Chain A
């Protein structure tokens, strides 16, 4: 059979050359079969027949005829060797040979006819098979003995074999499981009852698939159409699962129908129970307009869209939701629905937030926060660490922590590691580390073991704080404290401090050394007892007031020394504020001011004495003044009366007794009278001079020009019968007593007239020198008289001092003394310059500071 199939296959598919070669091969093979047959005394021609038939049927007419021809020749030459030649062949043999030839030709022709009709049949079959082969369902045909007679490609593919493997094989042998399964039952029922039967069942190993089987009984047996439904079922199941999941999942699920043409808004079509539970909205609540808080994506993405949004519940409360939007498209790829699942992630958000906070706390902590393995390999390195150590994170992660340690502190490391291994935490231990730039810094370290989830120690977290500044401050503080202590020790003053209420809380050894109080006695307000009883209450009040008002405290009190003697002390206290403004304490000093107090007392005493002395002296002066007044009074009365008598009686003698008196006597009486009158003038001038000292000044603005005018008018008699030229310059207004200033001008001008008597033309000039704005003017009176010798200028202003003889220029010598007295009483000064026979100039100024002796102002002057 196989041979045939081989040749049939060759006949159908082989090239013509191959077919003819096969035909020759078949013809040559035939004699081989003859030998065993000859031994059986079987006619040798018989074997050729099948060869020729096979050749004709399988290979076609041509090869069949060729095989027939060759077989006929072989029979003639091999089967009939005894004949030796053609001529010698027996008639029988010819017959036989012709029979073979004939048979071969007939067989070939018949075979060709058969082959042709078979080919036609095969063609129809092939057309059928093409239909069956093209359908996706599996199709097999079985004969009555349950053997496969047809298997389409789909069926073969589904069952994982080639169609040839099925043909002719028994169904139950090939698929033993089918026999007792739903499949077998269906097959048998279909055949037995001759009805179509449909079944769907699972075929386990080796197919492991679900099949839907439609069984149709046929004339030959049974035809089966079947489909692998595994995938469909899987999908259906998945869908079922999905539905179930959608309904039961803890996530809220919402399905939204996309708006159709001309519509806006997504219409909710489904919500699950979780959606209602989470949001409070049921399907009934959801109208398109009310979905505002659900962030439906504007555009359809290929993948799902994830987003997080703070979402409002039906009750108004809010929660963080994570949305997943998945687009559902119809088979045409058009977006039709959104599946939106949302999950309440408030807890996660909080966790994230907390975690973020923790991260940022760690990251931005001022302190260096790092972690390391037990071997010291750095795992994390925050910004604080970067700042403190100067190393960037990438420089340090993976490095050994020993890199930070100052060389002389490295011996600490093993101990620290040991401590860590035992789970011990170390807080705030101080050490020194080295920065990247080589600078050493003091750090305060807190080391905590890090454990894995199983609880075993795998490393350590290190919090490191740069305390370099703090150390410096502490050192400065310590120095300050020492300085304070030393100062308190070095000073002779008593230094003490109290709490904010003014109570002594600490022993004050210096106070005790001074007062002899015991440590207990000083405490609280006990120190007050060392004060003089008279000072205690006042001191307590001042102190408590200072404490209350938070002001500087300062007072003085007497304090009892150890020996019992009281000494004056000065106390000064200042408050020490806390950073928040409250008072931490008071510090104060007490200084012994006994000596100062004594000195002060003495000064007070001296002052009192001085005052007393001044009073006494004033009284004495007043008495002297009164005496002087009495003296002046008596002078004016008592000295003048005798003169009047002298003059009076001399006159009476001269008038009434002149006939009896010789001429000489009359002359003597005349001299007596003249002297008496002269003395009267002297007394009057002297009294006027004396009066000047007592007379009060009535200062007011004075126009000297007006005074000069009055004086010249009063003195008209002085220049009667004389040629006098008077020039009055610009005389600025000044401040003074007009009466006294007039007296000055009278005296100076009458002097001027008097001492120009010898001149044919007397020239008198009154003027003023002004040195500048604000300065006091210097007034002067100049004459062209006889002048005086500057050598005697110092005598000019003395009382009764005269530079000229009385018989030439009569006078008492009081006039210039009066001028000087008046000018001095105004606080000014007067001076003169002259040359003998060249006139004289008298200057005066009413304010001394204005008159600076200089080149323009003559040196001859008179000061008060």
Chain B
């Protein structure tokens, strides 16, 4: 694999959603270096494992096998190495409880996946543009790590 640092970590267990998300991102040239993990445990391994990675953005589904999205979010925001990474929750849930829980844990953005693909495409495009192109990351920390 490419030695370039991973730009985006997509945590998504649903292969259809993964494929559609990746389709939109690639179609819009928003991320070339994308790492997809299918559950929370895999994500932990990616972030805090032997080869710890610090992606520029994490797209996180809440409903995940093994380790749920909320648990993972709390781990990310609790760890000094990962807490500056923007995390965007991308989920089907409109539940107030989920929304409140996520914002309390320090999520950077919360996006409900629309069923309508046109809306979905637009949502992904917008967040990709915003977080990967316009938003200025906490660069000092990244450089140190680099």
Contact = CB atoms under 8 A, between A and B. Distances in A.
Contacts of B65: none
For A633, A650, A680, A687, the residue with the greatest tally of chain B CB atoms inside 10 Å of its CB is: A633
Contacts of A647: 115-117, 120
A680 B16 CA distance: 16
A640 B92 contact: yes
Interface string A622-646: 0000000000111011101111110
28 contacts: A633-B63, A633-B95, A636-B93, A637-B92, A637-B93, A638-B63, A638-B92, A641-B113, A642-B16, A644-B17, A644-B20, A644-B114, A644-B115, A647-B115, A647-B116, A647-B117, A647-B120, A648-B20, A650-B117, A651-B117, A651-B118, A652-B117, A676-B115, A677-B115, A677-B116, A679-B115, A680-B114, A691-B96
A676 B91 CA distance: 18
A684 interface: yes
A645 B16 CA distance: 6
A648 B91 CA distance: 16
Given A676-B115, A677-B116, A648 B16 contact: yes
Contacts of B117: 644, 647-648, 650-652, 673
Contacts of B95: 632-633, 636, 691
Interface string A178-193: 0000000000000000
A647 B115 CA distance: 7
B142 to A, nearest CB: 32
A639 to B, nearest CB: 8
Contacts of A676: 115
> 4 closest A-B pairs (Cβ-Cβ)?
A680-B115, A645-B16, A648-B117, A651-B117
A499 to B, nearest CB: 75
B72 to A, nearest CB: 16
Contacts of B116: 647, 677, 680
| B-side interface size class | 20 to 34
Interface string A329-343: 000000000000000
Question: Interface on chain A toward B: helix, strand, loop, or mixed SS?
Answer: helix
Interface residues of A, number: 27
For A641, A643, A679, the residue with the greatest tally of chain B CB atoms inside 10 Å of its CB is: A641
Interface string B7-42: 000000010110010010000000000000000000
Interface of A: 632-634, 636-638, 640-645, 647-652, 673, 676-677, 679-680, 683-684, 687, 691
A648 B119 CA distance: 10
A684 B94 contact: yes
Contacts of A632: 95
Contacts of B92: 636-638, 640-641, 644
B120 A648 contact: yes
A244 to B, nearest CB: 140
Contacts of B94: 636, 684, 687
A691 B91 CA distance: 18
Contacts of B120: 644, 647-648
A673 B119 CA distance: 13
A683 B114 CA distance: 12
A641 B15 CA distance: 10
Contacts of A677: 115-116
A634 B68 CA distance: 13
B116 to A, nearest CB: 5
B16 A641 contact: yes
Interface in B67-114: 91-96, 113-114
B118 A641 contact: no
Contact of B17 (A641, A680, A691): A641
A642 B113 CA distance: 12
A641 B14 contact: yes
Given A645-B17, A680-B116, 11 more contacts: A632-B95, A633-B93, A634-B63, A637-B62, A637-B63, A637-B93, A641-B14, A648-B120, A649-B16, A676-B115, A687-B94
Contact of A640 (B20, B115, B118): B115
For A632, A650, A652, the residue with the greatest tally of chain B CB atoms inside 10 Å of its CB is: A652
Contacts of A643: 115
A675 to B, nearest CB: 11
A689 to B, nearest CB: 13
Contacts of A634: 63
Contacts of B14: 641, 645
A650 B23 CA distance: 13
A633 B94 CA distance: 9
Given A636-B94, A636-B95, A645 B63 contact: no
For B23, B92, B93, B94, the residue with the greatest tally of chain A CB atoms inside 10 Å of its CB is: B92
B11 to A, nearest CB: 14
Nearest to B15: A645
Contacts of B23: 648, 652
A642 B114 CA distance: 12
Given A676-B115, A677-B115, A680-B115, A645 B20 contact: yes
Nearest to B116: A677
